[in-house]
Amino acid sequence: MRGEVFMRESIVSLKNVSFQYENQGRNALQNVSFDIFDGEWLAIVGHNGSGKSTMAKLLNGLQFPQQGEIMVCGIRLNEESIWEIRKKLGMVFQNPDNQFVGTTVQDDVAFGLENHGTPRDDMILRVEDSLKKVKMDHFLNQEPHHLSGGQKQRVAIAGVLALRPSIIILDEATSMLDPKGRGEVLETVRALKDEKSLTVISITHDLEEAAKADRIIVMNQGEVYREGTPEDIFSMDDELVQLGLDIPFSIKMSNAFRQKGIDLSKHYLSEEELVNELWTYRSKI
């Protein structure tokens, strides 16, 4: 099933992109090239300073690369096209509070629409509709300080959704949330992706989150270190740890089993798969 993804056409492509922050000797991104395919869930992982957040900023024109070119939805990214591209490519940031602009939930969702000059009648429909999609429609007039982190992030998703984008970037969007909030947010994005055939790019250092993606790109020192399916990536084991990434518990567990000579059916397992494998293990032998 995952093989299908690679047959689809590229929606974002980076060609030989290099980027350097001012006053910094080292390139934050070094000759990066890859494609993101229409409708896939791509996780970009890497430790702090690996260049993964810089990538998010480049993708919607918050920064421009010194070298190379970026194409989003067939449009070449430059100073003139950024506003067009920002409509197609929505971003959810890390801190739930620092991206909530409106005084109430509905004002915040409307903020992006106001910026793009959407007529008011259309705006009302879109605000209502997108809040329904993230199950926050009962909170229309709620003020942000009465919401949980997960709820605020869902409002942020609604704000992105209202602009009817093709791509959603989650820039560490779940890293400040508790496990419940994290689950809520990822579930919401997953459901939306399936319903609207969105492309999701999740930038994260949480490999557990990345495990649910169709494809993973591992960044290190501003370069693409490895690219592949979660199974491929998790078979790197110790290499990942050396890159400063923490392997999910279920993987660590199955590795430990393997070392004890207990063979499990496949290398990469989600927590649920692992549990299933374990309680049926006895009946297999």
Partner 1 sequence: MMEKMIIGRYVPAESLIHRMDPRSKLIIIFLFVCIIFLANNMLTYVLIGIYTFLMLGLSRIPFRFLYAGLKPVLWLVLFTLLLQVFFTKDGSLLYELGPIKIYEEGVRQGIFISMRFFFLILMTSLLTLTTTPIEITDGLETLLNPLKKVRFPVHEMALMMSISLRFIPTLMQETDKIMKAQIARGVEFSSGPVKERIKAVIPLLIPLFVSSFKRAEELAIAMEARGYRGGEGRTKYRLLRWKLADTMQLLILAILTILLILLRS
Retrieve residue 23's tokens: 């006053």
Give the residue with the Cβ less far from partner 1, 123 or 245.
123
Nearest to 257, CA basis, from 281, 230, 285, 234: 281
Q: How far is the CB of 238 from partner 1 (least distance, A)?
A: 35
Q: Could you tell me the smallest distance in angstroms from the CB atom of residue 138 to partner 1? A: 19
Rounded Cα distance between 81 and 79, Å, is: 6
Which residue, 122, 160, 155, is CA-closest to 137? 155
Asked if 34 and 227 touch (Cβ cutoff 8 Å), the reply is yes
- The phi and psi torsions of 239 (rounded to 5 degrees) equal -60, -40
- Select 164 or 258, whichever has its Cβ closest to partner 1: 164
Minimum CB distance to partner 1 smaller for 60 or for 220: 60
Angle at 51 between CA 169 and CA 238, to 5 degrees: 100
The residues binding partner 1 (CB under 8 A) are 57, 60, 62, 83, 86-87, 90-91, 93, 95, 97-103, 106-107, 110-120, 123-124, 127, 143-145, 159-160, 163
CB of 187 to partner 1, least distance (A): 23
Q: Look at the chain and count its residues.
A: 285
The nearer residue to partner 1, 109 or 269, going by C-beta atoms, is 109
Instruction: In whole angstroms, give the CA distance from residue 72 to residue 60.
Output: 9
Which strands sit side by side in the sheet containing 223-228, from one edge to the other?
89-92, 167-171, 199-204, 41-45, 215-220, 223-228
* Pick 96 or 222: Cβ nearer partner 1: 96
Q: How far is the CB of 97 from partner 1 (least distance, A)?
A: 6
CA distances, 69 to each of 12, 76, 87 (Å): 11, 7, 19
Structure tokens at 196: 């609207």
For residue 214, the minimal CB distance to partner 1 (Å) is 24
State the catalytic residues: 172
